[in-house]
Structure 1
C-alpha cells in the first residue's frame, strides 16, 4: 500500500532518529524497507539488545516480533522485523499528521 509523501517522510524522520542514522531515504516505501532491513540485519548480527530496545521504544507487538524471529534465515528475520517497524512507524506518523492538522 502506497502512503503519501508526507506520511513516508514523517516515518522516515522518526526512523532516522531511532536508528541514529541519516541514511534512510523516503522517496519510496521500497527504499525505506531495504534500508531498514539492512540496519536490522546488522543489529541482529552485532547488537541484539539494541535492536530489542528499539523495538520496545517503537512499541512493536511482542508476539509479532516472536513470529518474525521464527523465520528460517537471518535475511528473512531482518525483512520481517523491518516490515513490523515500518508498519508501526507509519501508524504513528498517521496519528501525528492527523492531530497536527487540528
Structure 2
C-alpha cells in the first residue's frame, strides 16, 4: 500500500488508516467514514470532497450511473483515485537530488 496515499487520506479525513493493509480494507474503512459523514455531517463531506479536489461532474455522473450501488463506496473510490493522482504527479515532478555538493544550495 502506498504510504503517501495513506498519509494524504488520513490528513484529509482525520482518521487513522495505518492499520489498513489491503486496498479493500482501506476502501471499506473510507466508505464507513463517508457513510458517517453522509448521515451526520454532510457539509463536512462536501468540504472534504472540495479540498481533495474530487471532480464534481464525475461524482454526479457516477452516482446517476450506478443507481443502487452504495454511494459511500463510489465516493471512497473517487477519494482514493484522486489521492493516487496527486501522488503520481508529485513523483513525476520530483527533482532528483544534486549529484555533487557544489550544486546544493
TM-score range, shorter-chain basis? Answer: 0.7 to 0.9
Task: Give the helix-richer structure, 1 or 2.
Answer: 1
C-alpha contact (below 8 Å) 1:9/1:26 kept by paired residues: no
**Across the two proteins, how many residue pairs are aligned to each other?**
95
Unaligned ranges ≥5, structure 2: 97-105
Q: CA deviation at 1:101?
A: 5.3
C-alpha contact (below 8 Å) 1:68/1:81 kept by paired residues: no
Number of the residue aligned with 1:56: 50
Counterpart-to-counterpart distance in 2, 1:42 and 1:24: 20
Q: Which moved more, 1:23-32 or 1:12-21?
A: 23-32
Q: Secondary structure at the match of 1:60?
A: coil
C-alpha contact (below 8 Å) 1:24/1:35 kept by paired residues: no
| 2:85 is aligned with 1:83 | no
User: How does the TM-score come out when normalised to structure 2?
Assistant: 0.78
